[in-house]
A and B are shown apart, each in its own frame.
Chain A
Amino acid sequence: MAAAASSSVPTPTHFVLRLISRKTVLVGLLALLTIAVVAILAPVLAPYAPNKLSVVNRLKPPGATFWFGTDEFGRDVFSRTIYAGRLSLLVGASVVTFAAIFGVALGLIAGFFKRLDTPIARIIDAMMAFPDILLAIALVAALGPSLLTVIIALGIVYTPRLARIVRASTLVIRELPYVEAARALGVPTWRIMTRHVLRNLVSPILVQATFIFAYAMLAEAGLSFLGLGVSPEIPTWGTMIAAGRQYIGQADWMTLFPGIAIIVSVLSLQMVGDGFRDLLDPRLRKDL
């Protein structure tokens, strides 16, 4: 019994322990935590205001006064980078929340009600046929660039990903005997959907959400780089790289540090997501 049991559903604490016992997950989690804390404490940690201009200190290389150097207006790159982190995390978190709410709702409805399945599934497929960034660009262009539209556009782009996973799993779970048992007891449909189906979907949703978080941060940087995101004076990693592009020969630190910030945060999210997925997929579970 024990062998079969441990592979099915671990208790929450047990799960977290096994998760952080993997080095990649632990490193990823620590990196994410650091980034989040630094971003949240940016007003305290930043040595300068992110938009403080200083003509004398234009394009200064990294050193003791300006750790990451300065940009073409003499603004401190370190301060701007950590301030930009707040926005990137905000966008990532908002997009994940948006996609989770709509993706889960659509997926559950499509998986549960046969009549609505075909229309919803077709729309999901149609949306997934577009490349992510292209669809986001089109949506931002249609809605007009602002922080809110970036979040909405990316939310719409990533909703089908979650909806598809939730739909597929719902189709499997709704046929399981424990759902049938609930129906035999006369449990109302909405309770079956939440209590029996959604509860068993928490893990795959969490895995996908981690990846969407990473993609959303990356996509936001891409949109900002293309000038379709937030206005250029607001520091985001994307706008910083876009601005630094012109000076890449003289001041590569302007693009290097925000670039590293993107790489580290996306990589650490992917590491955590991979660990999650491996732990939930018995075929990929190794040393644990």
Chain B
Amino acid sequence: MSGKDVLLQVDNLTKNFQTGSGIVKAVDGVSFDVKRGTIVGLVGESGSGKTTAGRCTLRLIEPSGGRLLYDGVDLRNLSEREMRAYRRRLQIVFQDPYSSLNPRLRVEDIIGEALDTHGLAKGTARRDRIAELLSRVGLNPDHARRFPHEFSGGQRQRIGIARALAVEPEFIVADEPVSALDVSVQAQVLNLIQDLQKSFGLTMLFIAHDLAVVEYLCDEVVVMYLGRVMERGPSRSVYAKPRHPYTQALLSAAPVPDPKAGRQRVVLKGDIPSPMNPPSGCVFRTRCPFAIAECAQVVPSFDAVGHQHHVACIRHSDPEVISQGHQL
């Protein structure tokens, strides 16, 4: 794992949405690195800004601030035309396998569009490449002339993956690629993603809300809450010793497939606050079981608590918080 260079460096990424009643800070100063050939998991509950952050890294949503250093180049400085060339290197797999495929196009045209746009293959070569991609994702190459509605959710997701792979990208943002699928199909698609990642040496940003999936798949994990990063670090370290109360709460909510396993649960009160009017100081303090008066005053800085393991909590070294993390 060590010695790998950073392919994508997200630095202080910000995205504000202007709404009728004010500015929503969907992503507020998010920073993390993605090393070449690794999978970074981006987790958080609904409304945490993880999907927006993922879209921003590909400039599918234009970020409001920050830098996106990809292989040394800041993607935000590229013109529309220059960005188009980079699109071949950066791809995305969507959450909803139904709305992510144009219902009017045949599978060969959905995948073929990727090839045509970048002039990768024509005629027989194009047909062969589509067949190859289909079989690579576990679909029958003879089904190239079918329409999306003739496939199941899992099969459609495989088509979406084949489309992303068609341009031979280096980096893929997977936006909750299995959360819309049946549990039985989820494992198959996850195995496919892992297998493809290994064999093509892909670098991935894997957005999810299922922590078990992230633990299984990812080398590193970034935990987001209300547009900010709460904790980030190597998966093993974060899962073994979660230092942020929010991470602890998320982990304690994940089901354990052992009926006898007793564990302490951290139950969060209330809902995620409105990003239009976030709490002062630490944004998590309104729901934090360990919150103290100081949390309202100080915006917690990122402190290293282990090898590459960072946490944004002023009480991260408090024995009470640490022991909570160990009990999970």
Contacts and interface: CB of A to CB of B under 8 A. Distances in A.
B15 interface: no
B112 to A, nearest CB: 11
Interface string A190-229: 0000011001100000000000000000000000000000
Given A1-B152, A9-B147, A183 B104 contact: no
A178 B100 contact: yes
Interface stretch (B89-97, B125-133, B193-201, B302-310): B89-97
Given A180-B60, A181-B92, A181-B94, A187 B104 contact: no
A63 interface: no
B251 interface: no
B274 to A, nearest CB: 22
Interface stretch (B113-121, B211-219, B236-244): B113-121
B147 A177 contact: no
A125 B114 CA distance: 39
A11 B114 CA distance: 24
A288 interface: no
Contacts of A131: none
A9 B113 contact: no
A38 B149 CA distance: 41
Interface residues of A, number: 22
A184 B99 CA distance: 15
Contacts of A44: none
Interface in B28-87: 55, 58, 60, 83-85, 87
Contact of A199 (B91, B102, B114, B152): B102
B26 interface: no
Interface residues of B, number: 34
Contact of B117 (A9, A11, A187): A187
Chain A: interface secondary structure?
Answer: helix
Contact of B103 (A183, A184, A200): A200
Contact of B118 (A6, A9, A186, A196): A186
Contact of A9 (B84, B104, B152): B104
Contacts of A180: 55, 60, 92, 94, 100
B104 A199 contact: yes
B70 to A, nearest CB: 14
B247 to A, nearest CB: 29
Contacts of A187: 113, 117
B60 to A, nearest CB: 6
A280 B169 CA distance: 38
A11 B103 CA distance: 11
Interface in B155-181: 160, 163, 167
Given A181-B160, A184-B87, A185-B114, A5 B102 contact: no
23 contacts: A5-B149, A5-B150, A6-B149, A9-B103, A9-B147, A176-B100, A177-B100, A178-B99, A178-B100, A180-B92, A182-B102, A183-B60, A184-B60, A185-B113, A185-B167, A186-B118, A187-B113, A187-B117, A195-B113, A199-B102, A199-B104, A199-B105, A200-B104
Given A185-B118, A186-B87, 6 more contacts: A9-B103, A9-B147, A177-B95, A180-B55, A185-B114, A187-B117
Top 7 nearest A-B pairs (CB, nearest first) are A186-B87, A177-B100, A5-B149, A186-B84, A9-B103, A177-B94, A199-B104
